[in-house]
Amino acid sequence: MNVELSTDFKDKYRKLMGERADKFFAAIETDSRNSFRINPLKPNYKNVNVDLSEPIPYSDVGYYGDIDGNSIDHQAGYLYSQEPSAMYVAEVLDPQKTDKVLDLCAAPGSKSTYIATKMDSQGLLVTNEINNKRARILSSNIERMGITNAVVTNNSPKDFEKKFEGYFDRILVDAPCSGEGMFRKDPESVKYWSLDYVEQCANRQRHILDSAFNLLKPGGTLVYSTCTFSPEENEENIDHFLSQHEEMSLSEIKKYPGMEDGKPEWGNDNQELTKALRMFPDEFEGEGHFMCKMTKSGAAAKNREKNVSTGIGKEEVKLLDKFAKANLIDLAENNWFKVSDFLYQAASLDNRFKSLHVLRNGLKLGEFKKNRFEPDIAWILAIEPTKLKAIYKLNDDQFETYMYGESIILTDKPEFDNKWIGLSYQDKLFSWGRYSNNQIKNVYPKGLRR
């Protein structure tokens, strides 16, 4: 690997790190260690075609190793590629199943999807990204992993302050940063680095932290993390934030071998910063990361929610009921909510979300079309297999055929005759199939085909 570090970068960190600097620079020149997570929201989630012999010590679902993005394990949402340092952020946040959680800078979704698995898809997870293109990638990852308790939004942090002051139990600010900790994974990012860019990032992060403070309940938890080494974006920012918000205090974080204390000497000599956590690639088997955990003092005010109308008419209920009776074992009404012609199992019906640009509210069940209801791919990725009347297990050749967009021709009449069936490969549900006349017609989304 050839990472060309700038003179300004080297000069800066020689001053900060002294004799350790050469070892630090050498580590940035070495290859990264890849890792991934398995998804406990899926049935038999350890039934995957990857090596699980090297677990990550601070994660119950993380492992060192590589995954194939074209495999059924990935397509069906059983695996998520995530850098090992970044996995610890959700563990530090420690979300509970009844919490309202906000991931304020969430794309592409690695931390949000981890948070959702720790919540067992219960409670409420609001996962936000200000950039529209990246927000849509975030939404697709939420869908692939079968997450049902997430509202995906495309807003600025300031947009939330209008309606959500003191609303969230836990907030993650995984701040957009100068990316120094990812130089060896993304050598192109080195070209964009400058001392001025670091200052721009630090200034932007301060505004995001101020918004997060306003959105956090008294008694709530705020985790701030970056993938940069820069003191300006880490210790200096947190010292400044604490000086501006006396209600906030740092909490201890458990540190595993290779993890280091935050550096008070890089943050106005604030000794509380030893409670923060740093990961440097010369000591830790992962990329560069900083994180700290803060709590907000005071008593939480009562949160009064007002729900929106579901927007579902009698005819639509009949169409959904007809689909369910033909294809499902049962379908319990659960926060059904219609947007345009699309039906969702809403993660929240709180009318405050009407003030935001919402890309996805909970689980997308399907679409009402003329005289019928058609199920969505998101539903099959989240549904319990026992809820389906029929599942057809594809063999190797059939799976390849289907992934290339072709229909499956059955040589023998199957036991089922219902129109919509679940398709599985290697015992993993990944798509609906539409059955008719000994043929399973392909309804797999074109954007996911090979």
Rounded CA separation 42/147 (Å): 10
Q: How large a percentage of the chain has pLDDT more than 70?
A: 100
111 known member of a binding site: yes
- Give residue 450's identity as a one-letter amino acid code: R
What pLDDT, on the 0 to 100 scale, is given for residue 91? 98
292 is catalytic: no
109 known member of a binding site: yes
What are the tens digits of pLDDT across the range 307-349? 888 888 899 999 999 999 999 998 877 889 999 999 999 999 9
Q: Which of the four pLDDT bands, split at 50, 70 and 90, describes residue 67?
A: very high
Provide the 10 A C-beta neighbour count for residue 137.
Answer: 14
Which residue's entry shows tokens 């967009």? 405
What pLDDT, on the 0 to 100 scale, is given for residue 1? 63
The answer on pLDDT for 120 being more than 90 is yes
- Phi/psi at 266 (5° precision): -100, 5
105 known member of a binding site: yes
What pLDDT, on the 0 to 100 scale, is given for residue 311? 83
Q: Which of the four pLDDT bands, split at 50, 70 and 90, describes residue 306?
A: confident
What pLDDT, on the 0 to 100 scale, is given for residue 8? 97
325 known member of a binding site: no
What are the tens digits of pLDDT across the range 207-244? 999 999 999 999 999 999 999 999 999 999 999 999 99
Containing 113, the helix (H) or strand (E) segment is helix 110-118
Among candidates 346, 376, 366, which has minimal Cα distance to 358? 346
What are the tens digits of pLDDT across the range 251-301? 999 999 999 999 999 999 999 999 999 999 999 999 999 999 999 998 877
Q: Which of the four pLDDT bands, split at 50, 70 and 90, describes residue 12?
A: very high
What domains can you pick out in the chain, each with its CATH number?
388-450 (3.10.450.720)
Q: Report the length, in residues, of the chain.
A: 450
Q: What token pair was written down for 33?
A: 């260690």
SS3 337: strand
What are the tens digits of pLDDT across the range 410-436? 988 888 887 999 999 999 999 999 999
Pairing, β 100-103 against β 168-174 = parallel
Q: In what order do the strands lie in the sheet with 420-425?
A: 391-393, 420-425, 428-436, 439-442, 408-409
How high is the mean pLDDT of the chain?
Answer: 95
Beta bridge partners of 250: 294
What pLDDT, on the 0 to 100 scale, is given for residue 417? 80
Give the HSE-up count for residue 275: Cα atoms under 13 Å, Cβ half-sphere.
16
Containing 324, the helix (H) or strand (E) segment is helix 314-327
281 known member of a binding site: no
- Phi/psi at 2 (5° precision): -125, 100
201 known member of a binding site: no
Q: Pick the catalytic residue: 177, 201, 227, 292?
A: 227
What pLDDT, on the 0 to 100 scale, is given for residue 239? 98
Provide the 10 A C-beta neighbour count for residue 32.
Answer: 16
Rounded CA separation 3/189 (Å): 10
pTM for this model (two decimals):
0.96
Query: Omega into 281 within 30° of 0, i.e. cis?
Result: no
Which residue's entry shows tokens 């008719």? 436
110 known member of a binding site: yes
Q: Is 435 exposed, middle or buried (0-12, 13-18, 19+ CB in 10 A)?
A: buried
The answer on pLDDT for 51 being more than 80 is yes
Among candidates 210, 220, 237, which has minimal Cα distance to 294? 220
